[in-house]
Amino acid sequence: MTLTLAELSTPLGDVRIARCGESLVGLGFAEGWERVEDSLRRRFGAVLRARAGAAPAVAEALRRYFGGELAALEGLAIDPGGTPFQQALWGALRRVPAGRTTFYGALARTIGAAGAARAAGAACGANPIWLAIPCHRAIGNDGHLTGYAGGLARKRWLLAHEGALPYEDRPSFSSAVAFAQR
Instruction: Give pLDDT tens digits for 42-94.
Output: 888 866 677 776 678 888 999 999 999 999 999 899 999 999 999 999 999 99
Domain boundaries, the chain: 2-75, 84-169
Q: Contact at 8 Å (CB) between 73 and 65?
A: yes
In this predicted structure, the answer to whether residue 142 has a pLDDT above a threshold of 90 is no
Task: Find out whether 128 and 25 touch, Cβ atoms under 8 Å.
Answer: yes
Note if 124 is an active site residue. Answer: no
The structural architecture, per CATH, of the domain 84-169 is Orthogonal Bundle (1.10)
pTM, rounded to two decimals? 0.85
Considering 62, 135, 149, 165, which one is annotated as catalytic?
135
Q: Is 180 in contact with 66 (CB distance < 8 Å)?
A: yes
> Please, what CATH class does the domain formed by 2-75 belong to?
alpha beta
Tens digits of residue pLDDT in 100-123: 999 999 999 999 999 999 999 999
In whole angstroms, what is the distance from residue 45 CA to residue 101 CA? 35
**CB neighbour list of residue 44: distance below 8 Å, 6 or more residues apart:** 1, 3, 20, 25
Check if 2-75 and 84-169 are the same fold: no
- pLDDT tens-place string over residues 12-54: 999 999 988 889 999 999 988 888 888 888 888 866 677 776 6
The DSSP string of 97-112 is -TT--EEHHHHHHHTT
Nearest to 176 by CA among 159, 155, 161: 161
